[in-house]
Each structure stands twice: as structure tokens, then as C-alpha cells.
Amino acid sequence: MNVDTLMGDFHLFDKRKEGNSLLCRIQGFLYYVFGASVFYTLALQAFFRFTRVVYSRKIIFQRCGTQLILVGLGWFFSFLPTVLSVLSSRSIVFLASEHYCSLDADAKPLATLIIFSCNYTLPISFLCILYTRVIIFIRQSTERMALAARQQMKRDVIVLRRIILVVTILVVLGAPGPIFIIMRFINGQLHPLAYRITWLTGLTGILFLSVALCIITPQMKILLMTMTVRRIRVAALTTGYPF
């Protein structure tokens, strides 16, 4: 969206010719689905760590089938609020001043607020509940657990805390959107730079998330390190230098 806005501002292309086309609205719809899927994915990771700590003896949560069902539910809740909003109020339209299709927060502030609440407030609240439950469980049962179980629990809690930290930073970066919508209810009009500030901070959050995922997901970190080592070895063999 930031690229579309910049190209439109510098008259590199005129997307207004396409207008409120179906392809443009689908693209705007997918932006919000992608944003929601990020938060629901983090919530699923937190739930996985939660079950390993609190319900470590229940194998059902560790089965592949259960994990696939949970992933499907995550995507379902990522799509549902935006789909209902589009079908009920046609809230995603072409914004001529921004050169892309998005939620019309000025004309449909209530629909926009509902989507933000479902896409972000629900998974964040779920994360907070999980983290609180884990802390209570640890305080009640740490002393009577075996050493190996305590070490595993400690690792899971560390990852869970990292997830909470990442979500907190993403919430701070994504705060301008809800703030501008609330100001729209108070002032009766949307700030002229609301969309640009919101998407700029959102882009910053996505760039941060690309790095943070390597930190909160040990398997991904190991995979990246393995790939890096392999590339170094291949380069060493190609150039004739020993690795």
C-alpha cells in the first residue's frame, strides 16, 4: 500500500483508471487478512507452548491432526471479520487520495473498528490469558516437578515471553490505526494522514516481525543457521579455500 501511495503521488501510474475494481478490492481485503493472520499465528505459537507447560501429559495437543485443526481455525478467524464486514457494508473501497483499496474508515468507522477489534484485540487478549495461566501454574507446581520437566518448562516460558514481547511491540506500532478511528468518532472526520501513518507503522512492524520470528522460533533459527553454514561450505569448495 505504501508503494501504491508513493507511485500515485509521483504520478508514476494512475490507479484511478481502474477505480473500484474487483481485483483492487480483493487486494485490499487480503491486506487485512494477512495482518490478522500474523496475530493469530503468534497466538497459536503461544497456545502450543501453553499446552506443553500446563497439559504436558495430554498427547492430543501434540498430535499433527490437532495442530492442523488449530491452524485452520486461525485462518478461519483471520478471514471471518473482514468477510462479514465486506458482505454487510461493502466497507473496502478505492481511496482516490491514497491510490489503493482499503477500509473506508471515514465513511464506515464502526465497521473498521469492529475489524480491528476482531483481528487484533481477540488474539492479544487470548495471549494475555494464556500467559497469566502459565504464570499461575508455574507458581503452584514448580517445586514438585522433576528437573527435566522444569528445564523444558523454563524453555517454553522463555519462548512465550518472547512472543508476548513481539506482540507488545507490534501493538505499539499498530496503535495509530485504532487511535485515528477513535478520533474520527470524537471529531467527526478522519485525519488526512491517518492511512499513511497507519500503513507506515504497519510496514515497520512487518519488517521487525521478519527478524523477531527467528528469535521466538528456535527451529527457524536453527534452519537459517544450517542454510548459512551450507552456503559458506559450498562457496569454500567453489573457490578452493578450506572451510
CB half-sphere exposure, 163, CA atoms < 13 A: 28
DSSP character for 10? T
Does 139 map to a domain?
A: yes
Does 225 map to a domain?
A: no
Beta strands per DSSP E along the chain: 92-95, 100-103
Q: What percent of the chain has pLDDT over 90?
A: 0
Q: What is the mean pLDDT of residues 82-91?
A: 72
Does 231 map to a domain?
A: no
Domain limits at 74? 2-214
Q: How confident is the model at residue 177 (pLDDT cuts 50, 70, 90)?
A: confident
> Is a pLDDT exceeding 70 seen at residue 16?
no
Range with lowest mean pLDDT among 33-47, 62-76, 137-151, 200-214:
137-151
Does 81 map to a domain?
A: yes
User: Cα separation of 144 and 141, whole Å?
Assistant: 6
Does 38 map to a domain?
A: yes
For the chain, the farthest-separated pair of C-alpha atoms sits apart, in whole angstroms, at: 69
Does 238 map to a domain?
A: no
Return the sign of the alpha-carbon dihedral for residues 203, 68, 225, 153.
positive
> Is a pLDDT exceeding 80 seen at residue 41?
yes
CB burial readout 67-94, b (16+ within 10 A) else e: eeebeeebeebbeebbeebbeebebbbb
Q: What is the mean pLDDT of residues 138-156?
A: 69
Name the strand (E) or helix (H) holding 116: helix 109-116
Does 241 map to a domain?
A: no
Angle between helices 147-174 and 194-216 (to 10 degrees): 160
CATH number at residue 109: 1.20.1070.10
Q: What is the mean pLDDT of residues 69-80?
A: 87
pTM over 0.75: no
Total domains present in the chain:
1
